[in-house]
Amino acid sequence: MALRIRYGFGSLEGKVERGEITREEKQKLEDAVRNGKPPDEEFLLHVFSPSTNYMKQIAKELGKDTIWDEAVIDNYFLGGLHNRHVETGVFGSMGKTQQELCKVHLGEIKEISQAGNKTFYKVAYNGGSQTVFADFVPDANQGDKVVIHQSYAVKMVNGSRAAEQPI
């Protein structure tokens, strides 16, 4: 569940602005991430409902009992389905800049910087670069490969696995 929350973390403010979740629900998720205690499954299904049905199908195809399995989450986000949904408007109409932020990218950390008590990575990927929050991958180093989504480094991807990602 924690990995799924990481992928959706950057989209929470937009969900509040569109009235999809309340500010209290957003705070509940932020607290869950900070405390390492995911909320109950029903709550997460409510918050991340657009991707849930697709992930259920992937879980079935992979023979997994739950959509919270890392292989299911990676298949949805890293296998290209999520990005195709962004491009085709499954998550609603959005401009090019918003689309680029909403897509999942695999990139390489080119720079590490600090601003106050926050660490940021400048990540280069095929077609661009973004400066992202390092909150979820605090121990990464320059040259490491990371998955980025919604202005956050979500997870590190190492070795041959980084070359295999179809994003």
Report how far residue 1's alpha carbon sits from residue 164's, in angstroms, rounded to the nearest whole number: 24
pLDDT class of 86 with cuts at 50, 70, 90: confident
What letters, b where the CB count within 10 A reaches 16 and e where it falls short, cover 76-90? bbbeebbbebbeeee
Query: According to the model, what pLDDT value does residue 14 have?
Result: 83
- Global pTM reads 0.84
Query: Hey, what CATH class is 104-164 in?
Result: mainly beta
Query: According to the model, what pLDDT value does residue 76 have?
Result: 93
Q: Is the pLDDT of residue 165 over 60?
A: no
Task: List every span in the chain annotated with CATH 2.30.30.140.
Answer: 104-164
Helix%, strand%, coil% for the chain, nearest 5: 45, 20, 30
Torsion of CA 41, 82, 133, 101, to 10 degrees: -130
- Residue 86 vs residues 62, 99, 102, 162: alpha-carbon distances, Å: 23, 6, 7, 22
User: What are the φ and ψ backbone dihedral angles of 147, each rounded to 5 degrees?
Assistant: -95, 130
Query: According to the model, what pLDDT value does residue 57 have?
Result: 93
